[in-house]
Amino acid sequence: MEIVAYGVQADEEPLLREAFDRAFGSGHELRCLGLFLNRDTAPTADSHEVVLCSVNDTLDAEVLRSLAQGGTRMIAQRATGFNNIDLTVAQELGLTVARVSYYSPYSVAEFAWALALAVDRRIVRAAHRTREFDFRLDGLMGRDLHGRTAGVVGTGKIGTAFARIAHGFGMRLLGWDITENPDCLALGMEYVAPERLFGEADLVSLHVPLLPNTHHLVDAEALALMKDDAILVNSSRGGLVDTDALLETLRAGRLSGVGLDVYEEEAGLFFLDKSLEVMTDERLARLMTFNNVLVTSHQAYFTRDAVEQIAETTVRNVEDYFAGRTGDNTLVRPEPA
């Protein structure tokens, strides 16, 4: 059987193939495509029972119906988040949907810190200058993070890893989540209401999933509460931040720095080369004009360790499907006949 994978990155493909070869040998052939799954590309999945998708594929009702009509019965998401999949429609169609519920939390937590430090210490601006042999320090002054307050929004595995690093920097820890994590409490974290966290934190880092109640969690009201010289980092999901409100905040000269590895309209942009095209997304283009904003293209998870774990878990999800099993990674399972 041929299994088709969409949105496969060049560095990801050999790791994905190795995992499939170890599990299936010649039993199943893996077809890796760089194109993303959406309403235009869905017909290419015809006759493929199993489809592997990425976080920037669009699996809305129209796409899912096209897949089901073409013979697809199982969708394996190579990511933790699944806000790009209409699970209700998948259930109605009798599809099995699985995800990767866990991979290295350090990959994302460490990258979030890379963003925080880069905007705090003006690393990108400094690098651009020195490449032009401009060695002035004007405009490059940052500040110590030691002794300041880190606000961690979401204290699951990634948020906890981020908090441990903040603790190592000697920062005071504020957290917000629906449940308190004992590991974070052991670090001295104080759980507070989001209003207090946004108001007191010098650095706010987002580590919650994108759900209806977290959409635009960082809106105009939350941004208004933040200190004028605070740093905001989002390495989770773009929809957590209201981009229009963020642009207004930046235009007002507020926030010391913003590090974004995700963007709420990134589908159709991130993971693709748009360098020879006119950027029609005006909000993203405007974000790029602020010298205290650093945008990267959803690469926080992209370490060899994490991608290997994602590939191996995806293989296990496919194995479970063929064996008629479900597990913790299963998001949708067909109703029994």
pLDDT in tens, 188-229: 999 999 999 999 999 999 999 999 999 999 999 999 999 999
pLDDT for position 107: 97
The pLDDT of residue 136: 97
**Residue 337: pLDDT over 70:** no
pLDDT mean across residues, the chain: 96
> Confidence band (pLDDT; 50, 70, 90) for 244?
very high
Q: Which of 48, 78, 298, 316 is catalytic?
A: 298
> What does the pLDDT average to over 280-294?
96
At a CB cut-off of 8 Å and minimum separation 6, what does 7 contact? Answer: 33, 34, 35, 36, 37, 53, 54, 55, 56, 57, 271
Give yes or no on whether 2-103+303-332 and 105-295 have one common fold: yes
Single-letter amino acid code for the residue at 300: A
Burial of 178 (0-12, 13-18, 19+ CB in 10 A): exposed
Is 298 assigned a catalytic role?
A: yes
Question: What is the band of 4 on the pLDDT scale with cuts at 50, 70, 90?
Answer: very high
Helices 105-120 & 157-168 angle (0-180, nearest 10)? 50
Amino acid at 165: I
12 a catalytic residue = no
Domain ranges of the chain: 2-103+303-332, 105-295
Residue of 205, 221, 217, 206 whose CA lies nearest to 149: 205
Q: Which of 12, 264, 266, 312 is catalytic?
A: 266
pLDDT range class, residue 334, cuts 50, 70, 90: confident
- pLDDT confidence of residue 27: 86
Pick the CATH number of 2-103+303-332 from 3.40.50.2300, 3.40.50.720, 3.10.310.30, 3.40.50.10440: 3.40.50.720
Active-site annotation holds for 237: yes
Share of the chain above pLDDT 70, in %: 99
Do the beta carbons of residue 241 and residue 226 sit within 8 Å? no
DSSP secondary structure letters along 73-113: -EEEESSS--TTB-HHHHHHTT-EEE------HHHHHHHHH
Q: Which residue among the candidates 237, 264, 312, 316 is catalytic per the annotation? A: 237
pLDDT range class, residue 142, cuts 50, 70, 90: very high
Taking 70 as the threshold, does the pLDDT of residue 14 lie above it?
yes
Q: What is the mean pLDDT of residues 314-323?
A: 96
Provide the CATH number for the domain formed by 105-295 in this structure.
3.40.50.720
Residue-level pLDDT at 212: 93
Pick 26 or 30 by higher pLDDT: 30
Is the pLDDT reported for residue 26 higher than 90? Answer: no
Q: How would you label 202-214 residue by residue, b for 16+ Cβ within 10 Å and e otherwise?
A: bbbbbbbebeeeb
- Can you spell out the DSSP letters for 292-328? TEEE--S-TT-SHHHHHHHHHHHHHHHHHHHHT---T
Question: Does the pLDDT value for residue 335 go beyond 80?
Answer: no
pLDDT the model gives residue 37: 96
